[in-house]
Amino acid sequence: MGNSIDTQVDEMLEKCIFSTPRKSFFLFAGAGSGKTFSLVLLLRKIRDRIGKDLLLQGKNVAVITYTNAATDEIINRLDYSSIFRISTIHSFVWDVIKHYQTDIRSLYCQHLSEEMTTLRKKLNDTKNKTTKTYLSNKEKLNDLNERFEKAKTIERFIYNPNGSNPEYNALKHAEVIKISAQMIKDIPLLQRIIAQKYPILLIDESQDTKKELVDAFFEIQKNFASIFTLGLLGDQKQRIYTDGKENIESIIPAGWEKPIKRMNYRSGRRIIRLANSIGKDIDIHAEQNPREDANDGFVRLFIVKQRDDQNKDEVEKNIRHIMFEQTNDEKWVGEDTDVKSLTLEHMMAVRRLGFAEFFAPFSKVSKYQMTFLQGTVPELEFFTKEVLPIVKSINDGGRQALEILKEYSPLLSRQNKDKPYELYLRCRDAATRLTDFVNGNKTIRVVTEEIIKSQLLKVPDVVKQAYTLKLSELDETVAEDIRAWVEVMDLPISMIHKYDDYVNQKSQFDTHQGVKGLEFDRVMVIIDDSEAKGFLFSYDKLFGVKGLSDADKRNLMEGKETSIERTKRLFYVTCTRAKNALAVVMYTYVPENVKKEAIDKGWFDENEIINI
């Protein structure tokens, strides 16, 4: 069957949808198996065969994706067909529940009340009432109580799936998930409405979909099986978030189809062999086959002895040079280098990219929690969507600068009808000066000052206020977003450009978690537990450098997953991003343990391991 071994999978999915009665299914699809291809192929068949009938009945096919980028990609591949309702889980469930404001208010108040009860008990049980934790919990209780009283007067709750939702009547992302899951499970009428409106619901990356919502959709399928078909697509080996459904295979009803995609169309043979070796302890469906025409693939494990004051940039540059020498691939080095380097945390990446001082203050701002890493903070977009594109356009000799200025500049506003040519010249001169300031890598404060003086653009209020302040002038009453802007005001403007490239995946670096679903010709996986601050993952434990913690042992006794299992899945995700060549770089104080474990597990051969 060669490269067509998965053809029967697509045929089975088609049969599930077009047979009478329809059948729900779970598609097991490992890394590089063409899951999105199969999903889009199935959707096109639905559009062509029953799309018109569904629209005439006022029905849609719902497709839930994990990211906005995935949503946009599938919408584009389906030529923006109105038959489909393609969205992220937050967007989908909010559309489902937003008209039931009384139920939302009731559950919102109930959840706040339960949280306050728990917190009061914690405060009452605390013996030392002078600790920071106690005082923080007390402040949190006051905040919850204030929100509870306000909630009683809210007539309409609002929510933006892609925003920070700072308004007093706006729900937070976690609240929307919790409330919608409970409403769907508790209200049979709502289940029926969903089943009738969306007779086919497909969930991509189902292993990382919020577990309470997976349970809610299973409830609909159980109660309305004759009119509601649920299709889950996913891979347990790639579950990287703790709020996803564990062991989802064990709860799939007996009548469902469970097709398995066996081929990896992405990676070279050696990379697939490594992935199979990592995955076999995670999922019985781990084994994948390479394409008949797959390249050999290339893997190396670099074990770096951890030292104080180590120049990790130089270490990693040297490793890229070794990969160039061993693969004879010039893209590992030089000005045209094309290597995706993966770090465990954002701070590890931004330190290497040289804008950690800029990144850190904003990463702590609660109202930017969702938008900062999406690049959609309005005040930052002032720079990334207006200031920097104007400068780039002028540097490139293009016309985009004029278009941006027509849209955003007060000088070219339609309200300014007097002396239009003079205003145009003034605008042109101001834009030229701005370009000189940015090209000269002046500070954010200096660039902001120039824009304010010239009136070239309307500076956001938060940025304008921060521009007038110094860190020494701040007290505890200053809002956290203003404080963050004050902290970065005297940093070079180039840091905003670096930030913009990073969040839009235009830089060399990304995180282990952030690249799921993506692929690259050359991948360097950087492992350094000493630099990472999180506790959910531990490569030191996975590679035998550290033993199990008490919490790990307790979780094992209780049948729960440990940090080793979470890390193994994450390691699988990172390694399977590589198409042609993979370099795993592990910093450790105990190199001999790492080498022994890597060989004993069958992940790397001895001649594939290099000590640095």
Tell me what pLDDT residue 175 has: 94
Q: Is 181 annotated as a binding residue?
A: no
Residues 380 and 491 in one domain: yes
The C-alpha atoms of residue 211 and residue 515 are separated, in whole angstroms, by 22
Q: What is the reported pTM?
A: 0.87
Question: Do 252 and 275 belong together in one domain?
Answer: no
Q: Choose the weakest-confidence range: 165-169, 369-373, 488-492, 504-508.
A: 165-169
Of 31-45, 59-73, 290-304, the range with the lowest mean pLDDT is 59-73
**Pair (423, 570) in one structural domain:** no
Residues 222 and 318 in one domain: no
| pLDDT tens track for 195-204 | 999 999 999 9
Q: For residue 246, what pLDDT is reported?
A: 79
Within this chain, do residues 73 and 195 fall inside the same structural domain, yes or no? Answer: yes
Domain co-membership, 89 together with 217: yes
Are residue 205 and residue 87 in the same domain, yes or no?
A: yes
Q: Which of 156, 171, 193 is the last residue of a domain?
A: 156
Domain stops at, among 249, 264, 279:
264
Rg of the chain over Cα atoms, rounded to whole angstroms, equals: 27
462 in a domain, yes or no?
Answer: yes
The residue out of 468, 503, 538 marking a domain boundary is: 503
Residues 384 and 257 in one domain: no
Among 208, 233, 187, 313, which residue's Cα sits nearest to residue 36? 233
Separation CA 71–CA 64 (nearest Å): 8
- In the predicted structure, residue 1 carries a pLDDT above the cut 60: no
Mean pLDDT of the chain: 93
Same structural domain, 372 and 486: yes
Helix (H, G, I), strand (E, B) or coil at 47: helix
610 has a pLDDT exceeding 60: yes
pLDDT tens by residue, 373-421: 989 899 999 999 999 999 999 999 878 999 999 899 988 876 566 777 8
Q: Which residue has the tokens 């097709």?
A: 259
Instruction: Based on the fold, state whether residues 209 and 128 are members of the same structural domain.
Output: no
Residue 286 annotated as binding site: no
Q: What is the three-state SS of 195-249? A: HHHCCEEEECCHHHCEHHHHHHHHHHHHHCCCCCEEEEEECHHHCCCCCECCCHH
Indicate which CATH number applies to the domain containing 255.
3.40.50.300
Give residues with Cβ within 8 angstroms of 366, minimum separation 6: 480
Domain count, the chain: 4
Residue 247: predicted pLDDT: 76
pLDDT level of residue 528 (50, 70, 90 thresholds): very high
% of the chain beyond a pLDDT of 70: 99
Question: Do 461 and 376 sit in the same domain of this protein?
Answer: yes
35 assigned to a ligand binding site = yes
Q: What is the pLDDT of residues 239-279, one digit of tens each?
A: 888 778 877 888 899 899 999 999 999 999 999 999 999 99
Both 81 and 134 in a single domain?
no
Q: Does the annotation place 341 within a ligand binding site?
A: no
Domain region containing 328: 270-344+512-611
CATH of the domain at 569: 3.40.50
36 annotated as a binding-site residue: yes
Check whether 135 has a pLDDT greater than 60. yes
